Amino acid sequence: MKETLPLGRIAGVRVGLNWSVLVIVALVTVTLAEGRFPEAHPGHPAPAYWSLALLAAVVFLASLLAHELAHAVVARRNGVEIDGITLWMLGGVARLQSEARTPRAELRIAGVGPLTSAVVGGLFTVLALWLDSLHASGLVVEAIAWLAGINVVLAVFNALPAAPLDGGRLLRAFLWHRTGDRLRATRGAAAAGRALGWFMILTGFAAMVLADDVSGLWPALIGWFLIATATAEERQAELRGILDDIPVSRVMTRDTVTVPADAVLTSFLAEGPFGHYRHSAFPVLAPDGSAAGLVTVRLVNRVPVHTRSTTTIGDVMRPLSEVTTAGPADLVVDLLPRLEASPDHRALVLEDGRLLGIVSLADITRALSWLTGTTGPRI
């Protein structure tokens, strides 16, 4: 899930919002302002309902963020790097750059999410009871009670033993511990996820058809998401089984065509695509021969034509700090998720700052074709 609005970093983790967050904010706000609040506490002016409903929706998003941040913090403590967190219409996604190395680490990373939501729900419950004992505004108490309930529901739903929910990862950790086979454990959790997804789709459509309840569309939508994501996770695990223990040095492209940082764009464009530069992305070298960044034809094309004769590659390249990099001994399975999340889908292979090669998704796909075609999946 790609972010469309970056929010900066929290606890060292990059956080962003997807545009679909607007859907859940609007849905929660309308449901509370037009339904629950006026039904439970009639007589208040409409602006009071709408402002409190909007505030509740924002606090709900904050609780989702707390859930995902808990995953991120515990993952880092267990040696798993986090690429970032994105909030979207159906919740939040913490993008892990690699997987847990042991079932125990998987258990800790997965379990902290529902636990966090349960704790948040408990805190809101205590707050609602305390405010009610002080005879605070019933409308405010109602909003806090709703936040308490939705966080408890979030904790319970995420604890269901079905991928890609946190409970599915708990199930995978258990199966992994019992069998010693992570791929087999992933398949079991994915099968449970698909079963839950189909159950939600069938019950959702049954509610719409038999009870004429349009709200049944939401469980059907969530069920479809569970099926698609569980299946994707299973395929990803199978790919990891095929690529297991294969270092980046075996799939990277060596002797890559490089571009000096001080090259002028007009000279660079004059030599491609039929001359020296026949690709669409090139490592950029500093004057001392070390890697400086990565330039793509897309980045060059953003420069106005009339300024290309005075603009250098170094002016438009993606600096090394923003480029995905790897060492020759790094495993392809650990690089793959970072490569998929990178804007250029390429990684520079470096050793002590010296460029050894470049890896693209096409390189990994080519390696997969050979491995599956000549030896079959190594699982």
What pLDDT is attached to residue 379? 42
For domain 248-374, give the CATH superfamily.
Answer: CBS-domain (3.10.580.10)
Element spanning 333, H or E: helix 332-341
**What are the helix (H) ranges across 244-307?**
265-270, 297-301
**Which amino acid is present at 323?**
V
What pLDDT is attached to residue 250? 92
What's the rounded Cα separation, in Å, for the pair 220 and 257? 50
pLDDT tens digits in sequence order for the chain, 379 residues long? 555 678 788 877 888 888 878 888 998 999 999 999 999 999 899 999 999 999 999 999 999 999 999 999 999 999 887 878 888 766 777 777 677 889 999 999 999 999 999 999 999 999 999 999 999 999 999 999 999 999 999 999 999 999 989 999 999 999 999 999 988 999 999 999 999 999 999 999 998 888 877 777 888 988 998 999 899 888 888 877 788 789 999 999 998 999 999 999 998 988 877 677 778 899 999 999 999 999 999 999 999 999 999 999 999 999 999 999 999 999 888 888 788 878 889 999 999 889 999 999 888 888 888 877 655 444 4
For the chain, what is the largest distance between any 2 Cα atoms, rounded to a whole number of angstroms? 79
From 221, 294, 222, select the one nearest 257 (Cα to Cα): 294
* CB-based burial, 351-368: b 16+ in 10 Å, e otherwise: eeeebbbbbbeebbeebb
What pLDDT is attached to residue 90? 65
Confirm whether 238 is a catalytic residue. no
Catalytic residue, candidates 34, 39, 68, 340: 68
